[in-house]
Structure 1
Amino acid sequence: MTTRAFNPVNTVPLFDVGGYSVRNMDIIVIVGALVMMIALDQFIRRSRLGRGIRAVSMDQEAAALMGVNKDRVVQITFLLGGMMAGGAALLYVMKFGATRWNAGFILGVKAFTAAVLGGIGNVRGALLGGFVLGLAENYGSALIGSQWKDVVAFLLLVVILLFRPTGLLGESLGRSRA
Structure 2
Amino acid sequence: VFGARVTITQVLLVVCALAMMGGLDLLVHRTRLGAGIRALAQDPETAGLMGVDTDRVISRTFVIGGLMGGVAGFLFGLNTQVSFTMGFNPGITAFAAAVLGGVGSIRGAMLGGLLLGLVETFNVPLFGEEWRYVAAFVVLVGVLMLRPTGILGVRIGRTA
Common topology (TM > 0.5): yes
Residue 123 of structure 1 is matched in structure 2 by 106
Number of residues paired by the alignment?
A: 159
**Which digits, 9 at most, give the CA deviation of each residue in 1:97-144, with x for residues without a partner?**
x21211111111100110011110111111111100000111222221
* 1:47-126 to 2 correspondences below 5 Å: 47-96=31-80, 98-126=81-109
Q: Is the aligned partner of 1:146 residue 2:129?
A: yes
CA-to-aligned-CA distance 1:58-99 (integer Å, 9 cap, x gap): 111110111012122111111111111001011111223x21
Match of 1:31 in 2: 15
Larger Rg: 1
Q: Secondary structure at the match of 1:121?
A: coil
Amino acid at match of 1:22: V
User: How big is the shift at 1:156?
Assistant: 1.9
Query: Structure 1: which amino acid aligns with 2:46?
Result: A
TM-score norm. by structure 2 comes to: 0.92
Question: Which of 127, 147, 151 is the equivalent residue of 1:164?
Answer: 147
Q: Which has the higher contact order (CA 8 A, sep 6+)?
A: 2
In structure 2, what is the Cα distance between the partners aligned to 1:160 and 1:34?
Answer: 25
CA distance in 2, matches of 1:121, 1:158: 18
**Structure 2 stretches lacking a partner, 5+ long:** none
Q: Aligned-residue CA RMSD in angstroms?
A: 1.7
Q: In structure 2, the residue corresponding to 1:102 is in which secondary structure?
A: coil
Any conservation in 2 of the 1:29–1:95 contact (CA below 8 Å)?
Answer: no
Q: Percent identity?
A: 47
Unpaired runs of 5+ in structure 1? 1-16
Please tell me whether the aligned partners of residues 42 and 156 of structure 2 are also in contact (alpha carbons under 8 angstroms): no
Which range is displaced more, 164-173 or 26-35? Answer: 164-173
Shift of residue 20, structure 1, vs aligned partner: 1.4
One of 117, 135, 154 as aligned partner of 1:134 = 117
Residues 37 and 61 in structure 2, CA contact (< 8 A), matched pair in contact too: yes
CA separation of 1:173/1:47 partners in 2, compared to 1, >3 Å: closer, same or farther? closer
In structure 1, distance between residues paired with 2:6 and 2:13: 11
Aligned-residue offset at 1:172: 2.8
- Measured after TM superposition, the shift of residue 158 of structure 1 is 1.8
TM-score normalised per structure 1: 0.84
Question: What is the distance in 1 between the residues matched to 2:137 and 2:86?
Answer: 18
- Post-superposition, which runs of at least 4 consecutive aligned residues in structure 1 deviate over 3 A? none
- 1:23 is matched by which residue type in structure 2? T
Query: What is the correspondence of 1:14-29 to structure 2 with a 5 Å cutoff?
Result: 17-29=1-13
**In structure 1, C-alpha distance between the alignment counterparts of 2:68 and 2:42, rounded to whole Å:** 22
In the TM superposition, residue 29 of structure 1 has moved relative to its aligned partner by 0.6
Which has the larger strand fraction? 1
